[in-house]
Amino acid sequence: MDLDTYLQSQSDLIEKKLSKLVPEQKQAHGQLFKATRYALLGNGKRIRPILALATAEAFGKRPEGILEPVCALEMIHTYSLIHDDLPCMDDDNMRRGKPTLHKVFPEGHAVLTGDFLLTYAFEVITNTACLTSDQKVQLVNILAKQAGGYSGMIAGQVLDIEAENKPISLEALKQIHLCKTGALITASVEFGGVLAGVTEDILTILRRFGRDIGLAFQVVDDILDVTASEEKHGKASDTINGKATYVSLLGLEQAKATAQSLYRSALDTLKPLPNMTILEKIAERIVSRQK
């Protein structure tokens, strides 16, 4: 199967499961599910759950039965986008090619939809029938840590806000990117490993791979910020928001070289493991993508 067909088929599985987890007909909660479906369904690349499924599959675990926990990654990611777009943060008008949630629903609903997705993600993991209690605890721990506040996504967001409109070193920007974007991508690869029941040694390798592709993902996002149109990228430019990027610090060519170097490092990390073709191809797509 070629990569595009693979990505589409995994994305379809994820979309279907997300829709089932937040069903349309559930009307007992005011507009909560309607707002959640607006933000969650359609148009996302689903790279985090796809990475988790691909990692699990590389170790022989089929997607059936593990779709719920990988959807939890997409829920956390979508909550972060909703909150990041709010007037008190980036104040963005467009996300995933359509108006941001707070432009369509009241701002309070957008806050609460993000809160709902954050907490529901953990409920979904702990409700998954085919996981052992041990696996559930591991997944909850990974997600809490990587989405959380001392070295994860929230920490990255705080550092990002504090760095706005200030000169910043490349090392400091790398730290922000690793936390803000890299942490959840690392969690996705770790999820795949835990779901397939790999050893701690393999998890360590996967974590290193996740860190490289997570950083590469954000460096490419910085590149697309200046090279892709808003229509293609689906959101406004970070440069306009007064944020430093790899391109603003290094220039376009050097930023591209950095993404390539992270890609090569990610492939080197996987070398000791067999059957890594699909992860290698996804890593390549992360650095060559156009949106």
Q: How far is the CB of 275 from ligand GRG (least distance, A)?
A: 25
Q: How far is the CB of 62 from ligand GRG (least distance, A)?
A: 24
Q: Specify the residue, 118 or 205, whose C-beta has the smaller distance to ligand GRG.
A: 118
The only residue of 13, 21, 40, 47 in contact with ligand GRG, by rule CB under 6 A = 47
Distances (CA, A) of 166 to 151, 160, 220, 241: 22, 10, 22, 12
Closest CA to 57 of 125, 10, 19: 10
Give the whole-angstrom CA distance, residue 211 versus residue 184: 9
Q: How far is the CB of 257 from ligand GRG (least distance, A)?
A: 20
- Is 121 an interacting residue with respect to ligand GRG (CB under 6 A)? no
Count residues contacting ligand GRG (CB under 6 A)? 18
Tell which positions 241-280 bind ligand GRG, by CB under 6 A.
Answer: none
Other beta carbons within 10 Å of 232: 11
- Contact indicator for 49, 170 with CB cutoff of 8 Å: no
The only residue of 84, 190, 212, 225 in contact with ligand GRG, by rule CB under 6 A = 84
The only residue of 10, 55, 80, 258 in contact with ligand GRG, by rule CB under 6 A = 80
Q: How far is the CB of 129 from ligand GRG (least distance, A)?
A: 27
Tell which positions 192-231 bind ligand GRG, by CB under 6 A.
Answer: 218, 221
Give the whole-angstrom CA distance, residue 265 versus residue 174: 16
Sequence-separated (6 or more) residues with CB below 8 Å from residue 78: 39, 40, 44, 117
Q: How far is the CB of 80 from ligand GRG (least distance, A)?
A: 4
**Residue 4 corresponds to which tokens in the numbers above?**
């595009």
Q: Specify the residue, 131 or 183, whose C-beta has the smaller distance to ligand GRG.
A: 183
- Contact indicator for 249, 243 with CB cutoff of 8 Å: no
Tell which positions 166-185 bind ligand GRG, by CB under 6 A.
Answer: 180-181
Q: How far is the CB of 76 from ligand GRG (least distance, A)?
A: 9
Tell which positions 128-167 bind ligand GRG, by CB under 6 A.
Answer: 153-154, 156-157
For residue 98, give the H/E element and its range. strand 98-99
Residue 10 CA to its chain's centroid (Å): 15
Q: Specify the residue, 114 or 205, whose C-beta has the smaller distance to ligand GRG.
A: 114
Contacts 24+ apart (CB under 8 A), 199-205: 202/59, 202/273, 205/269, 205/270, 205/272, 205/273
Q: How far is the CB of 145 from ligand GRG (least distance, A)?
A: 14
**Residue 262 corresponds to which tokens in the numbers above?**
């992270």
Q: Specify the residue, 59 or 116, whose C-beta has the smaller distance to ligand GRG.
A: 116
Positions that interact with ligand GRG (CB under 6 A): 44-45, 47, 77, 80-81, 83-84, 89, 96, 153-154, 156-157, 180-181, 218, 221
